[in-house]
Amino acid sequence: MGFGARARSVVNGWSWFVLLGGLALVSACSSSGAAPTTTLPATVVVVPAPTGFVSEPTDPVSGGSTGALTYGEAGGADCSGVDPVKTSEAMWISSQLRLYGSNPAYGDDYLIVCVTKVDSASSARTTQEGIAQRYMGKTSGLFGSTIVPLAVPNVPGSTGITLGSGPTQVNQISFVKGSYVVFVVGASRQASSASAIQQYATSLATQEYAALPTG
């Protein structure tokens, strides 16, 4: 998988992973111990990779595995709403992470879907607040005024932003449905694919919303 070299540094408890060549992302470190992995109920669907993309076994940002995550792993991967301050281990039930990349037409561009189930709809709303404060808020210092809102009309209550300009662009979408919290990322590293990757991200969010139960 050609994501390029990565550098990692820790600043005020945050791990900053820089994908050398232009794209920078932030991933939160969790200090909590890992709980046993719990698989999401069989009725829950994590939408598959779009045509041409491959479901990758590892997350190039955190370096960890995709698939079912422990509580500790979820806090350090691209399920960044799993914040031990906002989402305690008692509230958390399960997280599933997918990373879709290796599409020859899009080079190092990639898509992320993370679905987290918590113990109630109230906990889900709290978890989404963690995403806004912990992930989306932190990136404002990195991208500054290049942050613009990203609407996902078919996903009620969704929060979306597009970061960056020029060839490097990151789209982030989060939403709640019942006791589920979803975080979607679409990252492009070439201007020619920025619009397409944004459309893939919003489409994945829409599909995931439709696939999840309301409970």
The per-residue pLDDT for range 77-128, each reduced to its tens digit, is: 667 556 666 778 888 888 899 999 999 999 999 999 999 888 899 988 888 8
* 116 assigned to some structural domain: yes
Q: Is the pLDDT of residue 25 over 50?
A: no
Going by pLDDT thresholds of 50, 70 and 90, the confidence category of residue 22 is: very low
Count of structural domains, the chain: 1
Q: Is the pLDDT of residue 4 over 70?
A: no
Burial profile 125-148: b = 16 or more Cβ within 10 angstroms, e = fewer: ebbbbbbeebbbeebeebbeeebe
* 204 assigned to some structural domain: yes
Residues of the chain with pLDDT > 90, as a percent, come to 33
The Cα 135–Cα 53 span in angstroms is 25
Global pTM value: 0.77
> Residue written as tokens 């909590």?
32
* 97 assigned to some structural domain: yes
* 1 assigned to some structural domain: no
Domain span including residue 184: 6-211
pLDDT at 69: 84
pLDDT at 2: 41
pLDDT at 53: 96
Give me the CATH number covering residue 62.
3.40.1000
Q: Which two tokens stand for residue 130?
A: 């963690």
Q: Which two tokens stand for residue 149?
A: 């809102």
* 60 assigned to some structural domain: yes
* 61 assigned to some structural domain: yes
pLDDT, one tens digit per residue, over 45-80 is: 689 999 999 999 987 666 788 888 888 887 766 675
* 28 assigned to some structural domain: yes
Going by pLDDT thresholds of 50, 70 and 90, the confidence category of residue 208 is: very high
